[in-house]
A and B are shown apart, each in its own frame.
Chain A
């Protein structure tokens, strides 16, 4: 049972445009959500997070939006840069556990 779902395995965006990566979850006990970025031959690195008590968190070019009623979150990257090309994983956890539940990832390609 996939509790965190990333339904788009890949996304291609032109440099300078907005990239929107989506994530859906089913477990209403999740109260913290994270995005990780992974380059080839490297481990995932933490990018940005959001608590369930918020609906938006912004860090430079990266903004995460959370819609709890829809159990949906999205990562916006504006403007997209070629160096943003990577696999992006959505992850979630509950406050009582240190266990991250990951989605399957979305491969973002930013083209010139």
Chain B
């Protein structure tokens, strides 16, 4: 089945220690998104790639970076995680030419910062 895969599902990192979360997709969608969801809050868009074009949200901290080496993979790098960065991180994809609102989500990576 075509899908969005996120690894790892659970990640524990230390305060200030860089961490990378990964997302891959077999849907061949050209748009990929990263969301942050804290407990009892709405998922919040951090940034998205439209093909290779990176689109950062204005309020996304500089601590968060992303890479998309090819269509299938997208990475979220947190350079110096703080305790406030503990959250669920959701990756999603959509297809230009289709309906962009039909975003397909991965299961998420839950990040704990100790």
Contact = CB atoms under 8 A, between A and B. Distances in A.
A28 interface: no
B103 A46 contact: yes
A32 interface: yes
A48 to B, nearest CB: 11
Contacts of B43: 44, 89, 100, 102
A103 B45 contact: no
B78 interface: no
B1 interface: no
A93 B101 contact: yes
B61 to A, nearest CB: 18
A2 B11 CA distance: 28
B44 to A, nearest CB: 8
A69 interface: no
B31 A43 contact: no
Residue with the highest number of chain A CB atoms closer than 10 Å, among B44, B92, B105: B105
Given A9-B40, A98-B31, A43 B101 contact: no
Contact of A98 (B42, B94, B107): B94
Residue with the highest number of chain A CB atoms closer than 10 Å, among B40, B57, B100: B100
A4 interface: yes
B101 A49 contact: yes
B42 A89 contact: yes
A5 B108 CA distance: 23
B45 A43 contact: no
A59 interface: no
Contacts of A89: 42-43
